[in-house]
Amino acid sequence: MGRHLSTLPSPEESALQILKWNTIYQPINVIGALSNKIAIGLFILRIHNSPKFKRAIWVVMTPLAITTVILTFVVLLQCIPLRALWHPSLNGHCISAQTPLNVSYVQSGFAIIADIFLTASPIAILWNIRISLKRKVAICGLMSIGLVATIANALRNVYIPDLTESDISCMITYA
């Protein structure tokens, strides 16, 4: 990966192998990210377990979980049988390549909202604690580092359409 298909020994076979491994990687990636976000949300609830925060966590996490499950199913069922995606000789039925991309955008949008919420929640909780303003600002600054992941997720959306390009071996390293 990271090289143009034309520079690889067997470009067509390489592209199909990349497609295969990317199809396996995508569900693992989004389910892993969802698990991390749920763990962070539960940790925040241990710190500040008010009914308002519980409701807010549910409101943010539920759509993310639903879209993650939908994305996982769309990726794993985009071809029946799935192997038809990387074995063109198999007689299978595949949906449009645009469908997984559209679902990815929706899921990513909910992930960005969850990231912003999970980053801002501890800051809101800490702001009411009796410590000096200097310490509050320092702690909030450290907790804001989580926004780097949010920005990276948002920027990743720019490259999602490139995954349908014919030179997938080069473009997949950026997405």
Are 136 and 127 in contact by the 8 Å Cβ rule? The answer is yes
The mean pLDDT value for 80-93 works out to: 86
- Full domain range(s) for residue 84: 5-171
Residue 92's pLDDT is 87
Q: What is the pLDDT of residue 152?
A: 82
Per-residue pLDDT at 168: 58
Q: What is the pLDDT of residues 116-162, one digit of tens each?
A: 999 888 888 877 788 888 888 888 888 788 788 788 878 877 766 65
Token code pair at residue 102: 């559209």
User: What separation in angstroms does the CA of 94 have from each of 5, 70, 86, 107?
Assistant: 23, 17, 11, 21
**pLDDT digit string, tens, across residues 97-125:** 889 889 999 999 999 999 999 988 888 88
Q: How many domains does the chain have?
A: 1
Q: Which helix (H) or strand (E) holds 130?
A: none
